[in-house]
A and B are shown apart, each in its own frame.
Chain A
Amino acid sequence: MPARIGVVLFPGSNCEHDAVEAVRTLGGDAEVLWHGDDSLKGVDGVIVPGGFAHGDYLRPGAIARFSPVMQAVQAFAADGGPVVGICNGFQVLTEAGMLPGALQKNAGLKFLCRMATLRVETTDSVLTSATDEGAELRVPVNHFEGNYTCDDETLAMLRAEDRVVVRYVENVNGSVDGIAGVCNEGRNVVGLMPHPERACDDLLGSSDGAPLLRSLLESAAKAAV
């Protein structure tokens, strides 16, 4: 049985269909989960996709984290279920306290829509288990508030615990320590600003996102057993 991935849809999300399509392309099963539902309908893994949930009012993710579905996502993650937040989804997960740090406006206040090169810093996470450490992946970024920040103690902890999952080879947005993605203590919750779901087919300019989402599918399949 293919792993079933639930893709959370908030009002203002806009990458949910890309995520569903990418998961299906990679042989998984995917369905959209409405933010107002408090059930994950038995999925094996969760993607919180990109977009502008609730218009990004107040701060990106600040309102989305109060959606009923987020209670279910938090409980799922607490049980070890794999959860990946992409772009706005990363912002939602930091606002919900499921990942450390926060995402600020990009350095220089530039909106970025371009290809970025990421380096895999650890394969010990639900998003990188099927990749190689040190692998460089071309994955697009598309954000205004993707400048990862945290205090010095948090940064020291992330480094000491090997929780920086991916870094930008060229720091595109001013993120602390070039951080593009981090994971939680259990390594089953990962957030990243770049969009692997938009890089799963050579027709789109890169298929380097595929091993990342394949990692999620494998983690979800294991979690389902």
Chain B
Amino acid sequence: MRFDVQVETRPRAGIADPEGSTIERSLPALGFEGIQDVRVGKSFRFHVEADDEAAAHALVEDVCARFLTNPVIEDSSITVTEASTV
């Protein structure tokens, strides 16, 4: 079976995010008020061939832990959905 996968990574809670804080500091100068707690992450999209959704999820979790994120500073969330048949 073919699955659509989306992985989002972001700095872990408590880890400073220099990119997020730089963006946040620049917002008022650009006229945007009331925006707080900016955190910048990455989004990955890809396809996985696996026997079932659980197997696909397990594979993606492994890829996340060993490669897509640095667990020292990043968290990730994984969304796996069955790819629509063409």
Contacts and interface: CB of A to CB of B under 8 A. Distances in A.
A104 B16 contact: yes
Interface residues of B, number: 13
A137 to B, nearest CB: 26
B16 A94 contact: no
Interface string A145-161: 00101111000000000
Nearest to A108: B22
B19 to A, nearest CB: 6
Contact of A95 (B11, B22, B70): B70
B33 to A, nearest CB: 22
A147 B15 CA distance: 12
Interface residues of A, number: 20
A107 interface: yes
A152 B13 CA distance: 12
Interface centre among A59, A101, A107 (most CB of B within 10 A): A59
Given A104-B73, A105-B18, 9 more contacts: A62-B67, A94-B72, A95-B70, A102-B73, A106-B18, A108-B18, A109-B18, A109-B19, A174-B16
Interface of B: 11, 14-19, 22, 67-68, 70, 72-73
